[in-house]
Amino acid sequence: MPQLLWISPFSLHDRALAPARQLLQMVRALKMMQPQLQISVLCPTIFSSTDPHAIDLSVRQEVLQIQGNTIILDHGVQFLYMKTHSSDFGAMATIEQRNFVNELVPLFHSLKPDVVVVHNCDLLSLCALNQAKLCGLSTAFILHDFIPSYFHFADVDLILSTSQVLTQAFVLEGYPPTAEIGSFMPATGPLNQSALANKVKAAQAAREAASASTGALQGMDATRHNINEKLMPIAQRRKIMLVNPSLENGLGLFLYVYAHRAEHPELSSAEFVVLEQEPDQFKKALKQYHTAAQSDAQATASAYADLDLSGLRVQAPYDDVENQLRHELRSCRVLVMPNLSATVTCYEHMQAISYGVKVITTEQPTLQEFLGNMATYIDVDQDVVDNLATPPSEKESQKWLQAVVDALNAPIELEPFKDFFKDYSYEACMLRLSLSLKMLLDRSASNNPQLLRKCVFSLRRAIEQQANSAALQAVAQGLSPQSGAKSE
């Protein structure tokens, strides 16, 4: 049975961390597409939030009860959790980091993986790549985020990139081999499900005509959600929403739109909603804002202390934050997402589009690549990014206010949304990931029963070691391997 070891410096069940959500989708999709593949994920008990709601609901109880090193089974994937005392891998004590890294080699020899996959540039990932190559294992790197300039791909056999923008920015042409697998951002709203239903009908017809495609088409069926979900008429929606309120997500820009709602008839009857991802997230972020005349140390009161928030609904997180997001999007008209930090994931954006919601976000190459013409992009001045704790200027905030007003006044058209999802395929991401890793898995001994795996990982590796030993013995005797071959 082929084996794959996935190594992460943080928990993939962290719902508050956008990259973790994306990577968890990849792991589950890979298991769905290749049921015979045994996948093990090594990760520490490191989460970006102490709130239990930040843990994936399917394994929340098991994760919260972890006392030591534990194995958790999730969708057929084996998660090897290692208990850590630190909340961040980079902040671990040296001895704890060393103990964590020292577990790699015994783990390689006990699991005997055919492929090792990493997705980060920290110490653990670098050591994992190096040790895997020393053990003769194939390696893959998930390029899903910006990487530091010091990182190199010398120990990487294959790069799996989620974005063409990232590929062009960080990968030299042709080295190492790179496969673009897509964003892995599922959209489960009615508009995408309607498009998916048409694809499934075509898939069923193709299945009857070509049974060889059955495996891939079953994977497509398994990703469906509630296709019968009704789409609320857009004309009846009045909700303007911000998800995950924080300084980095432009809470100040959203509050400016809210504060000036009385100046525009379109906004006076609108419902303003802030959807938290952890309790009291809105209050904590609000307290971090101070006026330009104050420094961080001098700030004693929030810059929005005098703002009347009675017309703003702050929604605390439920147990299932994904269902909560979908519930709020059903009646949402405009989603305001001023991402003021570099963003390479767009889960909330994609979900909003699948419900026919207008999306307003910042002008970033990765967001433009994923969302295309289905979002309104606003260029943000560098001063806003450099001073996140200061309320944005009137000039910058006016752009977002006008964009929201324009979105409410724009004609209601569903055809652009439907056309977008005709070309979008989450199933294609699953297939590209599966087929790309299959090339590495086929190199190994696990798919060749005539090859033994005792202490080494393939017969080819054993032959190479024997040849090297013979050459060294010949040199020690003063003879070259070539002369020995001629004498025979």
pLDDT of residue 459: 53
Residue 161's SS3 state is: strand
User: What does the pLDDT look like over 241-252, one tens digit per residue?
Assistant: 999 999 999 999
Place of tokens 């020690």: 476
The pLDDT of residue 479 is above 90: no
- Which pLDDT belongs to residue 91? 72
pLDDT at 452: 42
Is residue 218 very low, low, confident or very high in pLDDT (cuts 50, 70, 90)? very low
**Topology (CATH) of 3-186:** Rossmann fold (3.40.50)
pLDDT, average across residues 136-154: 90
| Highest mean pLDDT: which range of 169-178, 220-229, 473-482 | 169-178
Instruction: Give the residue with greater pLDDT, 293 vs 135.
Output: 135
Domain ranges of the chain: 3-186, 190-228, 234-422, 452-480
Instruction: Return the percentage of the chain with pLDDT > 90, whole number.
Output: 49
Please, which residues have CB within 8 angstroms of residue 313's CB and are 6 or more apart in sequence? 271, 272, 273, 274
pLDDT of residue 482: 47
Residue 49 has pLDDT above 70, yes or no: yes
pLDDT digits (tens, 9 = 90+) for 328-365: 999 999 999 999 998 888 999 999 999 999 999 999 99
Burial class (CB in 10 A: 0-12, 13-18, 19+), 297: exposed
Other beta carbons less than 10 A from residue 377's beta carbon: 16
Average pLDDT over residues 376-401: 94
The tokens for 170 are: 């960080």
CATH number given to 234-422: 3.40.50.2000
Is residue 131 within 8 Å of 147, Cβ to Cβ?
no
For residue 8, pLDDT over 60 is answered with yes
Query: Percentage of the chain with pLDDT > 70?
Result: 82
DSSP 215-248: HHHHHHHHT---TTPPPPPGGG--EEEEES-STT
Residues 6+ apart with CB under 8 A from 371: 346, 349, 350, 353, 359, 361
Q: What is the pLDDT of residues 78-87, one digit of tens each?
A: 999 988 876 6
pLDDT category, 211, cuts 50, 70, 90? low
Question: Which pLDDT value is given to residue 484?
Answer: 46
Q: Looking at residues 458-464, what average pLDDT do you find?
A: 59
Phi then psi dihedrals of residue 186, to 5 deg: -70, 145
Per-residue confidence (pLDDT) for residue 465, from 0 to 100: 67
Mean of the pLDDT values across residues 196-203? 61
pLDDT band at 483 (very low <50, low <70, confident <90, very high): very low
**Stronger pLDDT, 295 or 347, i.e. the higher one:** 347
pLDDT for residue 283: 93
Please, what is the average pLDDT of the chain? 83
Q: Give residue 142's pLDDT.
A: 97
Considering the entire predicted model, what is its pTM? 0.81
Residue with the bigger pLDDT between 393 and 104: it is 393
pLDDT tens, residue by residue, 89-143: 767 777 777 777 888 888 888 888 999 999 999 888 989 999 899 888 999 999 9
Topology alike, domains 3-186 and 234-422: yes
